[in-house]
Every structure is written in C-alpha cells, then in structure tokens.
Amino acid sequence: EAAVTQSPRSKVAVTGGKVTLSCHQTNNHDYMYWYRQDTGHGLRLIHYSYVADSTEKGDIPDGYKASRPSQENFSLILELASLSQTAVYFCASSSGTGGYNYAEQFFGPGTRLTVL
C-alpha cells in the first residue's frame, strides 16, 4: 500500500520564526504536493514537484518555499511564520504519468500548525 508520512504531526510556532514541515513517500511516485486545509477553503495547493531538485508554485505560494532533495522527500518551509499560516498541511504523492488512471493522489496524515 502507498505510504506518505509527515513530520511533525503537530507544531506550535512563534510569529516570525522559521518552520519546516517534512514529507516522505515510499510510493516511488514522481509527483509530490503540499496543500493547506482551512475551514471554508478546502484543500489549496501551495507547491508541487515532479522531479527531484525542482519545485513549482501552486495556487497560494506566497509565504512558502518548497524543497525536493530526493524523489522520496519534499519539504515545506515557512521562513517567517505568520498567524495567517495557522492551518492543517497535507502532503500528497501521485504517479503523475500514465494519464487519468494513474492520477490518484495519496495523502499523508497531515500536520497541524499553530502560529502564535
């Protein structure tokens, strides 16, 4: 079964501090994604990557950086955390190739980030 893990599972950060959220997948998938989930907004794409050492901006990239050092690992970095970044963050992976039938995204358990 596909496996996506995230760490930490929850974090409390101070405004202006640096936060790094990590994601690891053992699916051998090329594509990895970072989403944030907020009530009333659903899942919104922050950054994604389709190959190691390359990242792409999603729909709401401002205030976030991403890093993909290897196929298995994808990090989300908040250089200067702000109150508005309090949310639940989900990482996901997908094959990304082979068309529609292989497009299913597999999600991690989420990281609850609270910025005070």
Q: Which residues would be at the binding site for other proteins (CB under 8 A)?
A: 4, 31, 35, 40-45, 48, 50, 58, 90, 94, 96-100, 102-110
CB 111 within 8 A of CB 8: yes
Q: CA 67 from chain center: how many Å?
A: 10
Minimum Å gap between C-beta 38 and other proteins is 9
Between 5 and 82, whose beta carbon lies closer to other proteins? 5
Dist CA 82 CA 80 (whole Å):
6
Q: CA 56 from chain center: how many Å?
A: 12
Residues in CB range of 10: below 8 A, 6 or more apart: 111, 112, 113, 114
Minimum Å gap between C-beta 31 and other proteins is 6
Between 40 and 84, whose beta carbon lies closer to other proteins? 40
Minimum Å gap between C-beta 14 and other proteins is 27
Minimum Å gap between C-beta 17 and other proteins is 27
Between 79 and 104, whose beta carbon lies closer to other proteins? 104
Dist CA 57 CA 83 (whole Å):
21
